[in-house]
Chain A
Amino acid sequence: MWSDPPRTALDQFCFMACTDTGLKHLAGLLDDPANDAKPYEDLAREAMQHQTDDYIRPHMTEAGLASWPLDPLVDRGYLYCEPWGVVRQAFAPHQLAIKQYADHADLHYGEWDAHRTVYLDGRSLPRDQPHTPLGFSIGHYEGDTLVVETTRVTEGDGTFLVWDGRHSDQVTIVERYRRPTPQRLELTATLTDPWALREPIELKKVWRYAPDQEIGPYDSCEPAAAKPTEAKTQ
């Protein structure tokens, strides 16, 4: 079982997701003696803004920017108890359990008690597979790195905080999971969406080993509103 990041200043910045741009900026702030007396919150906030201005926004298309940032009052999870799509789920906070079998892996998340299946049997990405919120995932190993490719994703919300706009059903994700130490799991993901992104973005995340934790039922969410009919993103 994995859970929230190690409690260091840099790792906590990747609580949801982060970028090299943001991490580099935060490291610079942390290493400046002039900032030693400033609260961590202020430094993290500045790095987040830098990450948005210098990396995320320049990568977004006009259509993507038009949907960004999401309005919390129309958030689908909040209003309709609608489980997240894969873009948001892959960067979900809290628990993540990965079980590997002969021909597939199961990624089990605390948020929404969601399961993702990653096929490891060498099959190709199917062209006729229906689109679903969590998409269709195949995977393979490159050395000690698990590489997961996901397509056939229905349009949905991007990641919390870092890329919190809408994405289209053309979105693809390539996730690379690596365990550099027994206590640490790292994700580097490349996200592509010709509707929302001018060019791919690379997001990162980190978990710490948490063998004593467990995933509990996600059973106390009730919708606050009726789901309206919506226009598609394309």
Chain B
Amino acid sequence: MKPMPLVSLAFAVLAASALAPAAAHHSFAAVFDGSKTVTIDGTIKEFRFVNPHALATIDVADDKGAVQPWIVEFDGRLNLTNFGWTDATLKPGERVKISGNPERTGAPRIFFSKLVRADGTEVVRGGDRLNEIEEDRRLRAAQRAAPTPAK
């Protein structure tokens, strides 16, 4: 398995503070192409809820039925637990569509951005953290706009 402890950090920052320059000078850009997104449709073979990165193997069948295993790399267990993930979030045998950034070498490997289950429910990388930040901004704006009580 490739070592990528810093990828999780680059993504952690993107998810939290979303500071693009950070990603530009950390290891994600050297490994994955953040400008591209690919989607695979397959069956989960294995999910490893580990540090520094969680990993899943997805069996993807082509039109002729030949199966190609793809590796999906996630944020690490450390970060995923902040979004409520457990080792049972992805179950072997489950059919999923997963989108992510492809590895630059063309290897069958992507960094996770979104998952759609068979029932249509979605799991998005970073969970609702950015939504909560935006809600905090709306509250700040509302307080700013509120009239100052007269003395």
Contact = CB atoms under 8 A, between A and B. Distances in A.
Interface of A: 3-5, 7-9, 12-13, 15-16, 30-31, 33, 36, 39-41, 44-45, 48-49, 69-73, 75, 77-79, 81, 93-95, 110-111, 113, 160-161, 164, 210, 213-224
B140 interface: yes
Given A30-B140, A160-B13, 4 more contacts: A78-B4, A161-B22, A216-B77, A222-B2
Q: Which range contains the number of B residues in contact with the other chain?
A: 35 or more
Chain A facing B: main interface SS = loop
A44 B2 CA distance: 31
27 contacts: A4-B82, A7-B133, A12-B16, A12-B17, A12-B129, A12-B133, A15-B13, A40-B137, A44-B18, A44-B19, A48-B19, A72-B29, A73-B30, A75-B6, A75-B26, A77-B6, A78-B27, A79-B3, A94-B82, A111-B78, A160-B22, A161-B13, A161-B22, A216-B81, A220-B48, A222-B2, A224-B3
Which of B9, B50, B76, B137 lies at the interface centre, i.e. has the most chain A CB atoms within 10 A of its CB? Answer: B9
Contacts of A39: 18
Contacts of A72: 6, 25-27, 29-30
A223 B76 CA distance: 17
Chain B facing A: main interface SS = helix
A221 B76 CA distance: 11
